[in-house]
Structure formats: C-alpha cells, structure tokens
C-alpha cells in the first residue's frame, strides 16, 4: 500500500479511538486525502462553545510537505482570514515536521484560538481591532462564534438581532451609536459600517479619527 | 564618425571568418570555452567588460577553498565548516568573528549542534547501514577528508548503531509507522531516529520540491542540519540525480552570496560568471556588463549540437535580471523601459501583430521574414513595415525612419492632446523596439529553412561545405545588430533632446539601414550558380554591418564613461535631469 495512504488511514483510526481530545476527522468525499477536521472552541476564550470545521487537503508528498488546512467555519481571529478562512501558523509552513499529525495540527489550531499572534496577522483589520481594543474584539469574536459556530453568545447581548439573525454592526465589531451617527448624515448604513470597520473606529481610536476624516472616506 | 575602414578589421577577414565557422562544426562545450577565452583575452573595447566564465566544478573549487580556509582557522571538520559557511552566507570574516566571540552560539544557529549540552561539539553519527556510510563520498568531501581526519573534534566514539541499541523494544518509525524488524534507521546528532526510507523521501522532497539546501532534522522543533555525507548516503543509488541537484543548489547559494558572481539565468545551464568590475551598484551607470557563460542552447538537448544559430550563446546582463545582452543601454534605463512596456502592454499590443494592411490598396499583408521592405502582392506598392511610409524614401540621407519628430509645444495645448502626443511618442519607440525583436526571430526562422536548402545544394552542386556557410555568419551578425538596435530605441526614448541625441540617432539610423540591406540580401532566392556573387555581397555587407554595430556600441559606451548622456526623466544613479528636458 502507498505509504501516504497507510499513514493517513492510521491517523484517522487513531483519532477515532481517542475520544478524550474532542478532535474528529471525517471524510468529505471518497478521497482519503480531502478531509474535514472538527474541534470545539477552547474554554475561557470567545470561541468557547463553538464547533469549528477545518478543510484538510493532504498533498502528494505528505507527511514530508505540510498538510493544507483552512477554516470552513468563519472565525474572527487575527491569524485567520475573516474572508477565506486561510490560516497563518508556522507549523503549516516552515516549521512543519513530518512527525506532526493531522490531530496534533488540529490541536495547534485549537491553541492558536487561545493565543492570537497579532504581530504576525493573516487578517490585518482584525489584528488592528485586537490591538486597539481587546474587549470589543472579544465581543465580536464571541458574536461570530455564536452566529457561525453555534456558540452560546454573550449573555444579554445581541438577542435582539432580527431578520436573518445577523447584526451587521456587531459582526463588524462596531458600536451602534457610531453607525447611527453617520447614517443620520445621509449615508447608507452598509457603507458606514464598511468605512468605520476599515478605519478601525473603535475604542480610543474614536477620539483620534475626526468626523471629517470619516466623512471624507464615506464620500469616496 | 567615418574614420573606420573595412580593410583594417582583421577579425572579419574571410579567413578568420571561416576558421570560426569550422570550429562550430565539431561543436562542444570545450570549444566554446576556448572561443570565449580567446574573446576575452583579446584587447577589450570600451563596450566590453572583463569577466570570466566558470563551470560548476570551478565554482565548487572556490567553495572548497573557503571551506579549507575555515578548517585551518577554526580547527573544525569539513562538514562543520561547510555548514557554518552556508549559515554565514559565505562571509568568512563575519563567521570567524562570531565563532571567536562564542563558538556555541553560531554552532547552534548553523544547526551543527543542539542547544544542549552547550560545551561539546560532537561529530555527526549516521545510522544508515555501515556499507552505505563508507561509500566513497563526493568530490568535495574526498578532497577534504584529510583535513577532517586531523580535526581535533572528530571522533567516532559515540557512534552507535541504532539497531543494536533499540533491539529490546521494537522500533516504530514515527513517520511511516513501519515496525518491521529489519527496518533500517538513521538519525543526526540529536538521536531523533527515523527509518532510512522516510529520510530519503524527506530529503528528496526538500531538494526537489523546495530547492532547499539546508535540510533540518525531521523531528518537530529540532534545528540540526544534516551534513552532506548524511544526505549523500540517503540519496545513494536511485537518488543520484537528486544528489547532483543538491550540489547544484549549494553552488547556486554560494554564487548568490558573492556579489562578484552570477549564475547563468538560461534554463538548464549550470555555469557561473565572475565579473568583479560590475559588482558594485555604482559601476552600473558607466558600464553595461553584458556577459556570456560560454555555453549555447539548452544543455543536453540535441539542438545544441545541430543548429548553431538556434542554439544561441548564453548572453545575459551581470548587473540586472535581464537575461539577454541589453547593450548599449545601461541597466537602470533598460529596467525603466521594460517597466514602461509592461505597464502599457495593452495599448501597444496591436503593434506586435504579424499582419498589416497595405497603405495603398488595404489588402492584408503578412510579414514572414526579417526584412522591413514590403511589397504588396496585389498592387506592387513598396513600403516600410515599421512606419508604413513609401520605401522609396528610405535609404536616402534625409529620410529617417528611426527619429521621432517632436511636435512643437503649441500642438499640445490641452491635456488630452498632450497625453495623445506622449502615447504617440512612446509608440514610435516601442514600434521599432518590438519590430527588431520580431525581425530577429523571423530571420532565424528563415535561416533554418535556408540552411537546409544550402546543405542540399552542397550535395547537388560542386560547392564545398565552407562555401555555403557564409549565410550563418550573416544571420548571426544581423541578429546581434538587431538586438543592439532594439535597445537603442529604449535609450533614445529617454535621451534628452539635443545634439548628443541627434548624433546617437545618426549612428542608429546608419546601423539600421545597413541591417535592413543585409536582411534584404538574406531573403533573396538562392540559386546554385549565383552563390559566388551572393556570397561576396553578403560577406561585404556583413563586414560593414559589424563595423556599424561597433560604432554604435563604442560611441554609446564612451558616452557613459564620459557622462555625456542626459536624460528626459529621472534615472536611478544619474544626476537629476534639467527641468527643461523633462517630458
Ligand atoms: Zn519511516
Ligand atoms: Zn533532531
Ligand atoms: Zn549558460
Ligand atoms: Zn543590465
Ligand atoms: Zn497593395
Ligand atoms: Zn520606415
């Protein structure tokens, strides 16, 4: 049997036998080289209570070349692209070792959720949010966990969300009062959210960004 | 300008010409290296630069010298010296300084020793079967083995085959999960044990997929770097080509660390050029370091042995990434021009097309040779492919197809007509630039057909092999001149208006006319009985064209040395242009 296949089969079997870690690996289609990883969000973080799905592609030269992983579940985290789910993690690149397994890599992803590295960001906007106001960042990450990963959400927050169940202001990590303020000037709500998010109009930054500057961006 | 004569050029007299052609007959690398050496040893022209071509073994020798030097100074064995040098980007002084400062820090950083224990530099143990480790090592290693034996730190006391050590508990390879009892295993100094099969696959993947020469231990977080002997053992047998590739990667790394060296950019070539005269950035405003590695074609392909014209010599620029000879224009201007062309590629795309309409009857005309003198098949109208003007006006002294007539300032009043004028100006130069490239390609295609015909003729007529070879030299010369002409348009685009530019364009025009005349001769139908006359004409024209090319190259090169050229735009490394010259 092909060495790569033997190794992957064993990895999948080992993972099945290990119930304690909470990590699961499932087939997506017939191919044993395109898999889905599933792990719970770590306790004591904004991701707690959520279930995170990871797309796994095992390259031809696995395990000598790193496995390719990206989040299927949307995650609000400085080292994960909020748009594509791409992950910035050293072991998925230069620091990969053939000794690492799918399970150990998924555990590393889990611990990446515990300890963001904003200095080596995958998503610059999220990283800025994280560094300027950690509290607000955590609220947003919690909200994303609730919306996308089936998390419990923050008590007393966002339960009022209506329609499709998503509060765009909370999704963007902004404050409703700020969005309302610029919307009242006659700008479209979506555009206001977009601009404020890009300008990182949060926390102490709010006092540093003049209203004119925001309007200037809105007029572009 | 006219102080040249055709007779004093001994390089180009008939005898020499055929001597060179004869050399091409039994073509091989050595011959080219010979030719090349003759070229550089002869008196240098102002547009030539001194350089030396080195093949891979020659560069390896330089590397061995550095390794031997470090062994001598630091008293380490050759495999340690090599890894220390690679880690230090082959900067010997910095390596020695760091080693003297704290040997352990750099030994750890270079992956020679593990962070702990801190004091001992232990030798590398390989657990690949005895038979394999004792295989004779590579050239580098064998030449240095005497030094490594004398190394105080080399010892074999800690060598311990893993198979015996781990006999009690069955070893399972942590990568492939193989647990066979006859499993061969190996580890670096860190004792991270894996099966030899996994080592081989891993090392192969690092070399083949990542072009990596620094191969670390497979264990997570372990920073030890495999010594060459270990890699060679792992690649013994079927891995020989990968081992060769590894050595090429080492040479490439060494070359990239040395500003005096540059690796030949032509595909498949493993030669290096040494050109200390162009190693500094400041030198690049006065010289164009056009060099050749001495090889031709794609190494290993049969093409290199059959058609000397198709297998072009590996010219490239030592000073910039352009993989051809961009004389006479200096690197920074060539770079600006290429960027401009890339940015404006869409607007200029139509120019490259191979078909145009006859300016008189509008029937479609296809270009199929390198000559710009077009005759419409339908209405017999003769015109210039480049400017679409009547051919009758070309070749006379007052007509210049090469010079862009700047519109007077009043023509370009508003922004729109200004930008139109600037596009027109650009297209004038781009058009001619692209045309020379295209013409050169078309002449080579044409030559391939002609060559076949001439060889047939040699069989059916009384002509000797030598007598049918004059075309080859002519095509090569035309090709060379077209490359010069091509880059003169990039240069002229950025030259500030004035006398100097006009003289430059006079030389450019003279060369261009000569090349077009030669190209026209080369496209004439060939009949066996007309060959002696044609041969005389072609040879004379080739000599003349060669001379005109020398004038352009020499005068432009002298201009750079004298700081004579002024630009109409900001050029890296040159003085700010005069406000009035900016376009
Ligand atoms: Zn193995
Ligand atoms: Zn190790
Ligand atoms: Zn070459
Ligand atoms: Zn250059
Ligand atoms: Zn016509
Ligand atoms: Zn013309």
Residues B456 and B549 in one domain: yes
pLDDT exceeds cutoff 60 at B5? no
Is residue A171 domain-resident?
A: yes
Chain B interface with A: residues with Cβ < 8 Å: 174-177, 197-198, 201-202, 205-206, 209, 218-222
Do A105 and A8 belong together in one domain? yes
Distance separating alpha carbons of residues B210 and A42, to the nearest angstrom? 35
Query: What's the confidence (pLDDT) of residue B19?
Result: 39
Residues B371 and B422 in one domain: yes
**Together in a domain, A18 and A70:** yes
Give the whole-angstrom CA distance, residue B178 versus residue A3: 9
Mean pLDDT over each residue of chain A, to the nearest integer:
90
Based on the fold, state whether residues A99 and A146 are members of the same structural domain: no
Residue B126: pLDDT band (50, 70, 90) is very low
Do residues B303 and B357 both lie within one domain?
no
Question: In this predicted structure, which of B20-34, B203-217, B498-512 has the lowest mean pLDDT?
Answer: B20-34
Res. B31: pLDDT tops 50: no
Residue B348 binned pLDDT confidence (cut-offs 50, 70, 90): low
Q: How confident is the model over B263-311, as pLDDT tens digits? A: 999 988 999 999 999 999 889 999 999 999 988 877 766 654 455 556 7
Q: Which residue of A has its CA nearest to B216?
A: A97
Give the CA distances from residue B583 to residues B174, B419, B569, in Å, rounded to whole numbers and listed in that order: 67, 11, 7
As a whole number of angstroms, the distance between CA B284 and CA B218 comes to 44
Residue A119 lies in a domain: no
Close Cβ partners of B17 (under 8 Å, ≥ 6 residues apart): B470, B473, B539
Q: Across the interface, do B205 and A64 touch by the CB < 8 Å criterion?
A: yes
State the average pLDDT over residues B408-434: 70
Among partner residues A10, A61, A91, which is closest to B209 by beta-carbon distance?
Answer: A61
Of all residues in chain B, what percent carry a pLDDT higher than 70?
Answer: 75
Tens of pLDDT along B47-69? 999 999 999 999 999 999 999 99
For residues A67 and A160, membership in a common domain is answered with no
**Could you tell me which chain B residue has the CA closest to the CA of A6?**
B176
- The whole-angstrom distance between residue B271's C-alpha and the CA centroid of its chain comes to 9
Confidence of residue B473 (pLDDT cuts 50, 70, 90): confident
Contact B218, A97 (CB under 8 A): yes
> Angle B418-B423-B426 (CA atoms, 0-180°, nearest 5)?
125
- Domain shared by A40 and A60, yes or no: yes
Domain identity same for A62 and A136: no
Range of the domain at B533: 333-581
Looking at the domain assignment, is residue B250 inside a domain? no
Classify residue A208: in a domain, yes or no: yes
Judge contact between A199 and A182, C-beta under 8 A.
no
- Based on the fold, state whether residues B299 and B352 are members of the same structural domain: no
Nearest in space to B59 (alpha carbons), one of B240, B257, B214, B235: B257
Task: Give the CA distances from residue B66 to residues B74, B85, B153, B301, in Å, rounded to whole numbers and listed in that order.
Answer: 12, 8, 20, 34
Report yes or no: B324 and B315 within 8 Å, Cβ to Cβ: yes
A141: left (phi over 0), alpha (psi -120 to 50) or beta: alpha
Is B259 a member of any domain? no
Looking at the predicted structure, is the pLDDT value of residue A131 above 80?
yes
Whether A59 maps to a domain, the answer reads: yes
Mean pLDDT of chain B: 79
Could you give the CA distance from residue B483 to residue B440 in angstroms, rounded to a whole number?
8
Average pLDDT, integer, range B531-541:
89
Distance CA B580, CA B172 (A): 78
Q: Are residues B362 and B462 in the same domain?
A: yes
Instruction: Indicate if B297 and B214 belong to the same structural domain.
Output: no
Supply the ipTM of this predicted assembly.
0.84
The percent of residues above 70 in pLDDT, for chain A, comes to 94
Residue B242 within any structural domain of the chain: no
Cβ B296 vs Cβ B320: under 8 Å: no
Q: B355-357 and B52-54 as β-strands: parallel, antiparallel, unpaired?
A: unpaired
> Would you say residue A131 lies in a domain?
yes
Helices and strands in chain B, H and E counts? 19, 11
Helices A211-219 and A189-198, packing angle to 10 deg: 120
Ligand 2: distance of its center to the CA of B107 in Å?
15
In CATH, what number is assigned to the domain containing residue A56? 3.10.110.10
The verdict on A175 and A207 lying in the same domain is yes
Distance A99 CA to ligand 1 centre (A): 10
Q: What average pLDDT does this structure show over B532-551?
A: 93
Residues B58, B178: one domain? no
Number of domains in chain A: 2
Query: In terms of domains, do A38 and A130 share one?
Result: no
The answer to whether residue A9 is domain-embedded is: yes
Cβ contacts (< 8 Å) between B190 and chain A: which residues? none
The answer to whether B288 touches B335, Cβ cutoff 8 Å, is: no
**CA distance linking residue B351 with residue B1, whole number of Å:** 33
Maximum C-alpha span of chain B: 96
Task: Label residue B532 exposed, middle or buried (CB < 10 Å: 0-12, 13-18, 19+).
Answer: exposed
How many Cβ pairs closer than 8 A exist between chain A and B? Answer: 37
Which among B176, B218, B219 has the least Cβ separation from residue A3?
B176
* Separation between Cα atoms, residue B122 and residue B376, nearest integer Å: 81
- For A69, other C-beta atoms within 10 Å of its C-beta total 24
Judged on CB neighbours under 10 Å (0-12, 13-18, 19+), B287 is buried
Q: Residue A34: give the domain boundaries.
A: 3-114
Residue from A15, A88, A149, A172 carrying the catalytic annotation: A88
* Closest CA relative to residue B31, chosen from B308, B416, B437: B308
- Does B104 have pLDDT greater than 50? yes
CB contact under 8 A, B175 and A99: yes
Q: Give A159 or B510, the one with higher predicted confidence.
A: B510
Residue B408 parent element (H or E): none
Q: Residue A70 — pLDDT band, cuts 50, 70, 90?
A: very high
Pure H helices in A133-184 = 134-149, 168-171, 176-183
In this prediction the pTM is: 0.74
Contact B117, B108 (CB under 8 A): no
For residue A117, give the DSSP letter. -
- A164 and A96 belong to one structural domain: no
Work out the end-to-end distance of chain A between its first and last CA atoms, rounded to an integer number of angstroms.
60
Give the one of B209, B218, B221 whose C-beta lies nearest to A98's C-beta: B218
For B555-568, what is each residue's pLDDT tens digit?
Answer: 999 999 999 999 99
Q: Bridge partners of A87?
A: A80
Same domain? For A203 and A173 the reply is yes
Rounded-to-integer distance, Cα B457 and Cα B394, Å? 34
Q: Which helix (H) or strand (E) holds B415?
A: helix B415-460
In contact, A183 and A195? CB cutoff 8 Å? no
> DSSP state, B525?
P
- Domain-located, residue B246: no
Residue A64 lies in a domain: yes
Is A62 in the same domain as A149? no
Q: Do the Cβ atoms of B466 and B16 come closer than 8 Å?
A: no
CA of B111 to the centre of ligand 2 (A): 10
Nearest-CA neighbor of A38 among A114, A103, A111?
A103
Q: Is the pLDDT assigned to residue A55 strictly greater than 80?
A: yes
Q: Are residues B62 and B38 in the same domain?
A: no
Number of domain units in chain B:
5
Task: DSSP for B384-404, please give it.
Answer: ETTT--BGGGTTSTT--SS--
Exposure letters B315-334 (e unless 16+ CB within 10 A, then b): bbbbbbebebbbbbbbbbbb
Tell me what pLDDT residue B155 has. 32
Query: Which is higher by pLDDT, B314 or B22?
Result: B314
How many Å apart are CA A106 and CA A151, to the nearest integer?
19
- What is residue B173's three-state secondary structure? coil
């Amino acid at each position: 049997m092909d060495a790569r296949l033997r190794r992957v089969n064993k990895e999948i079997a080992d993972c099945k036998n290990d119930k304690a870690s909470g990590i699961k690996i499932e087939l997506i289609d017939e191919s044993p080289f395109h898999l889905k990883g599933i792990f719970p969000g770590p306790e004591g973080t904004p991701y707690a209570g959520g279930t995170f799905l990871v797309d796994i592609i095992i390259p031809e030269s696995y395990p000598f070349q790193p496995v390719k992983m990206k989040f299927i579940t949307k995650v609000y985290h400085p080292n994960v692209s909020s748009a594509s789910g791409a992950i910035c993690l050293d072991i998925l690149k230069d620091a990969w070792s053939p000794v690492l397994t799918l399970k150990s890599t998924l555990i590393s992803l889990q611990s990446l959720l515990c300890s963001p590295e904003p200095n080596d960001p995958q998503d610059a906007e999220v990283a800025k949010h994280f560094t300027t106001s950690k509290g607000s960042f955590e609220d947003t990450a919690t909200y994303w966990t609730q919306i996308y990963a089936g998390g419990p959400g923050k008590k007393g927050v966002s339960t009022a969300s209506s329609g499709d169940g998503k509060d765009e202001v909370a999704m963007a990590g902004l404050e409703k009062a700020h969005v309302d303020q610029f919307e009242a000037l006659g700008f479209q709500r979506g555009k206001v959210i977009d601009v404020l998010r890009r300008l990182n109009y949060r926390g102490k930054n709010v006092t540093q960004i003049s209203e004119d500057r925001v309007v200037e961006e809105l007029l572009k | 300008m006219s102080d040249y004569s055709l007779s004093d050029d001994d390089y180009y007299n008939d005898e020499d010409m055929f001597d060179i052609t004869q050399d091409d007959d039994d073509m091989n690398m050595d011959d080219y290296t010979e030719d090349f050496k003759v070229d550089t040893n002869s008196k240098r022209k102002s547009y030539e630069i001194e350089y030396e071509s080195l093949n891979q073994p020659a560069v390896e020798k330089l590397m061995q010298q550095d390794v031997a030097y470090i062994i001598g100074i630091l008293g380490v064995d050759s495999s340690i010296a090599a890894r220390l040098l690679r880690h230090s980007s082959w900067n010997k002084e910095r390596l020695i300084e760091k080693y003297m400062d704290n040997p352990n820090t750099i030994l750890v950083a270079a992956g020679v020793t593990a962070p702990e224990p801190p004091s001992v530099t232990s030798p590398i143990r390989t657990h690949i079967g005895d038979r394999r480790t004792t295989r004779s090592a590579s050239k580098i290693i064998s030449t240095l083995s005497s030094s490594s034996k004398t190394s105080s730190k080399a010892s074999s006391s800690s060598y311990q085959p893993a198979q015996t050590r781990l006999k009690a508990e069955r070893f399972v390879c942590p990568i492939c999960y193989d647990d066979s009892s006859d499993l061969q295993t190996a580890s670096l100094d860190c004792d991270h044990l894996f099966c030899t099969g996994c080592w081989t696959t891993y090392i192969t993947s690092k070399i083949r997929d990542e072009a990596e020469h620094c191969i670390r231990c497979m264990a997570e977080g372990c920073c030890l770097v495999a010594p060459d002997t270990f890699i060679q053992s792992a690649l013994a047998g079927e891995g020989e080509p990968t081992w060769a590739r590894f050595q090429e990667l080492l040479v490439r790394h060494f070359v990239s660390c040395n500003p005096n060296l540059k690796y030949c950019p032509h595909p498949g070539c493993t030669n290096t050029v040494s050109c200390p005269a162009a190693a500094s950035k400041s030198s690049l405003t006065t010289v164009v370091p056009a060099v050749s590695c001495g090889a031709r074609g794609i190494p290993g392909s049969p093409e290199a042995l059959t058609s000397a014209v198709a297998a072009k010599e590996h010219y490239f620029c030592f000073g910039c990434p352009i993989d051809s000879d961009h004389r006479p224009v200096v690197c920074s201007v060539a770079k600006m021009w290429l960027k401009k062309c890339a940015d404006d590629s869409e607007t200029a795309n139509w120019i490259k097309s191979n078909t145009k309409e006859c300016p008189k009857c509008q029937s479609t005309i296809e270009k199929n040779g390198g000559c710009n003198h077009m005759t419409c098949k339908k209405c017999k109208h003769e015109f210039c492919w480049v400017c679409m003007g009547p051919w009758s006006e070309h070749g006379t002294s007052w007509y210049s197809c090469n010079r862009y007539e700047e519109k007077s300032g009043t023509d370009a009043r508003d922004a729109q007509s200004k930008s139109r004028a600037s596009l027109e100006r650009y297209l004038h130069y781009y058009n001619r630039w692209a045309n020379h490239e295209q013409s050169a390609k078309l002449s080579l295609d044409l030559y391939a057909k002609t060559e076949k015909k001439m060889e047939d003729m040699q069989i059916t007529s009384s002509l000797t092999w030598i007598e049918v070879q004059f075309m080859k030299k002519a095509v090569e010369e035309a090709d060379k001149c077209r490359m010069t002409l091509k880059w003169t348009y990039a240069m002229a685009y950025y030259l500030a208006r004035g006398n100097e530019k006009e003289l430059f364009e006079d030389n450019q025009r003279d060369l261009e006319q000569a090349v077009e005349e030669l190209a026209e001769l080369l496209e004439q139908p060939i009949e066996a009985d007309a060959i002696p006359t044609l041969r005389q004409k072609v040879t004379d024209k080739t000599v003349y064209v060669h001379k005109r090319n020398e004038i352009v190259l020499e005068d432009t090169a002298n201009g750079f040395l004298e700081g004579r050229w002024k630009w109409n735009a900001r050029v890296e490394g040159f003085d700010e242009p005069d406000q009035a010259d900016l376009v």
